[in-house]
Chains A and B, each alone.
Chain A
Amino acid sequence: MDREELVAKLQAMAKKLRRESLFVMKEMGTGWLGGSFSSADFITALFFYRMKHDPQNPCWIERDRLVISKGHSCEVFYAALAEAGYIAKDELKTYSHCGSRLQTHVDCRTPGIDCSGGSLGLGLSFAVGSAMGAYILPEGKNLSSSSQRQKARFRVYCVLGDGECNEGQVWEAAANAFHYKLDNLTAIIDSNKFQSTGAVHAKMNMLSLAEKFKAFGWEVREIDGNNMNVVVETLDWVLTVEGKPQAIIAHTIKGKGFPSLENTNCHFVKITDDLLKKGLEALGG
């Protein structure tokens, strides 16, 4: 498959997942629409292009990990899990109901989810631990080696919100990832510019997240996180980086793909029949 064909295929999948996620949101009556839609493109590219994983064997120890640290925006991810075959499509209808594996923040009781999210600021630390584990050689010295070391057994991807980067532990993890030279770790910051109750810069001006990660010793790229071609290219780039963790500041549009909501703070919105209809019209379904 050439690049153009791949990108077209992933774009179609992202659109499908956005559409499916609207039905998931409708189950609860309220949905993490803004974040689900802003992150849909790179979630699709990770899940259906970049990551080494096996839906038939979700506990495969050598699989690449995906840590959804921000935890919300889970509807698009649940749609991806169903599409990949981790869960049955029918299970999507149980979302947010009592007894369901599909909780309102990602939960590791669901096959294909490596770490429960929702308690902001913890996921990157979990990802660092997991990435260290991929380097540890029980007999000898590899993780702690300063010279050439054996390749990591798997890679870890961690999705953070830009608002989530207010949390101090994110930066403990960032420092530690550099210290252990975890080049098998990629953080993707879904920089959709809004957090729960307002604009990210208005809540706490963190200045440039890119500069911050650079200062912590990471290799950083700022990209258009809703441009599938660029996303795919960047996910190829991360494999070429040696000796350093990578941060992708994915500049995205909150609610991307839902024209009337784009660039508004549609963080957690009521999903009315009318809204669902409008969304499906926009997404061609």
Chain B
Amino acid sequence: MLKTIYLCEEREPYENMYSAHNRALIELAGKNKRIVSCYADFPPGEVGEVFQKQFPDRIIDVGIAEGHLISSAAGLADAGFIPFTHCHTLFALGRGYNQIRHNVAYDNRNVKIVLCNSGVIWGGIGPSHLAIEDIAALRAIPNLVILSPSDAVSSEKATLAAADYVGPVILRLPSTGASYPTLYTQDLELEIGKAITLREGNDVAILATGTLVNDALTVSEDLERNGVHVRVLDIHTIKPLDEKAVLSAARGTGAIVTVEDASIIGGLGGAVAELISGKCPVPLRRVGVKDQFGESGTSEEIKNCYGLTWRFIRKAVQKVLKSKENPKGKETKVGRPQQSVGKK
């Protein structure tokens, strides 16, 4: 088993990814006068308040008007600025989809849309605020880059990469109030469109995105003890997908599990299925939200309820390994049982 040079030994401490993003934003704003931070009555957090004090003219709150937030950010970009918009994922998507498509993506504006409180694990304040379909919906829009970091370090680096990139970027963040284990060392080099191989292995590959990358690592460590060598990839860029890394994982391991805190319909699981079905069909299991809405609950409750803990991921890995070992096994079950034919 090999691991990347960036991986933290202990996966500690726990850190808030929104604070890390805001720290990066302050660093950026100090260097680049064109950085502007925009909100739709969304809390900037403690670190965000520091931004306000340092750059009073470069923080804009438009009130509860997410559609207007996105369109006006496109106008700010037209005036030469680099706006980062912040609001709940569901409202950027639900109230701002047409605006993202038309004002940002189609017109190719240099706008960075930060999706806060994405996924169902947040639990937070219930299903009205829990986005599951953002990856599927946004992935179908041309021109967008979609970033989905997995810890505080990659959140910070993804923010810096988003600012560096000229064009529209979606930055998908989990709960703004929770802390997550640190996976990476500070020397992480995050390159848009280039997946990070966290562990090498040739038996099976887990392709994960967001905070569940940590759980994927737990599974790989657990299975390693049983002699199963799991390759773990952090798909921090959902679009453009690192096709080379995904196909190499399919060819090198022959079995793939995708993991995400989002709907498996059109999410990372969908993206990987689309790619490998054409170019390297291998058994695939998708761990994620299965065509259902989110609900209130603690993150632990939700993960258990929605099949998103490391144990569920391990089960998916075991199942996909079985399919790999016995590729025809499933087909025999589908057909009419042989013994029932001609009994009479």
Q: Which residues of A contact B (CB under 8 A)?
A: 61, 65, 108, 114-116, 118-119, 122-123, 125-134, 136-144, 156, 169, 172-173, 175-176, 179
Contacts and interface: CB of A to CB of B under 8 A. Distances in A.
Nearest to A156: B75
Nearest to B60: A132
A116 B107 contact: yes
A148 to B, nearest CB: 15
Given A116-B107, A122-B103, A131-B75, A61 B80 contact: yes
A141 B33 CA distance: 13
Q: Is the interface of B mostly helix, strand, loop or mixed?
A: helix
A195 B98 CA distance: 21
B73 A172 contact: no
Given A61-B80, A130-B79, A169 B68 contact: yes
Contacts of A125: 67-68, 71-72, 75, 99, 103
Contact of B72 (A61, A65, A134, A176): A176
B251 interface: no
Contacts of A176: 62-63, 65, 68, 72
Contact of A172 (B68, B78, B81): B68
Contacts of A115: 74-75, 78, 103, 107
B76 interface: yes
Contact of A137 (B34, B57, B67, B102): B57
A197 to B, nearest CB: 21
Contacts of A123: 71
Interface in B78-100: 78-81, 83, 98-99
Contacts of A137: 57
15 contacts: A108-B107, A114-B78, A115-B75, A125-B68, A130-B79, A132-B75, A133-B78, A134-B79, A136-B57, A136-B79, A137-B57, A138-B33, A169-B67, A175-B63, A176-B62
Given A122-B103, A126-B71, A140-B57, 11 more contacts: A119-B98, A125-B71, A125-B103, A129-B78, A129-B83, A130-B78, A130-B79, A133-B81, A134-B79, A141-B56, A172-B65
B98 A130 contact: no
B75 A130 contact: yes
A173 B57 contact: no
A164 to B, nearest CB: 14
Contacts of A139: 33
Interface of B: 33-34, 36, 55-60, 62-63, 65, 67-68, 71-81, 83, 98-99, 102-103, 106-107
A122 B98 contact: yes
Instruction: Choose among A108, A122, A123, A142 the residue with the greatest number of B CB atoms under 10 Å from its CB.
Output: A122
B72 A142 contact: no
A144 B33 contact: no
Contacts of A130: 75-76, 78-79
Nearest to B95: A169
A123 B67 CA distance: 11
A118 B59 CA distance: 29
Given A116-B102, A116-B107, A122-B99, A129 B71 contact: yes
B68 to A, nearest CB: 4
Given A172-B65, A175-B63, A176-B63, A138 B78 contact: no
Contacts of B58: 136, 138
A136 B79 CA distance: 10
A64 to B, nearest CB: 12
Contacts of B33: 138-139
Given A129-B79, A143-B57, A176-B63, A136 B36 contact: yes
A76 to B, nearest CB: 22
B121 to A, nearest CB: 31
Contacts of B65: 169, 172, 175-176
Contacts of B72: 125-126, 128-129, 132, 173, 176
A256 B74 CA distance: 33
Instruction: Choose among A128, A137, A138, A144 the residue with the greatest number of B CB atoms under 10 Å from its CB.
Output: A138
Contacts of A122: 67, 71, 98-99, 102-103
Nearest to B68: A172
Nearest to A138: B33
Nearest to B62: A176
Task: List the 10 closest A-B pairs by CB distance, nearest first.
Answer: A133-B79, A129-B75, A129-B72, A125-B71, A138-B33, A130-B75, A172-B68, A172-B65, A126-B75, A119-B102
Contact of A136 (B63, B78, B81): B81
Given A119-B102, A133-B81, A127 B75 contact: yes
Given A116-B107, A169-B67, A128 B75 contact: yes
B211 to A, nearest CB: 32
Nearest to A153: B79
Contacts of B75: 115, 125-133, 156
A144 B57 contact: yes
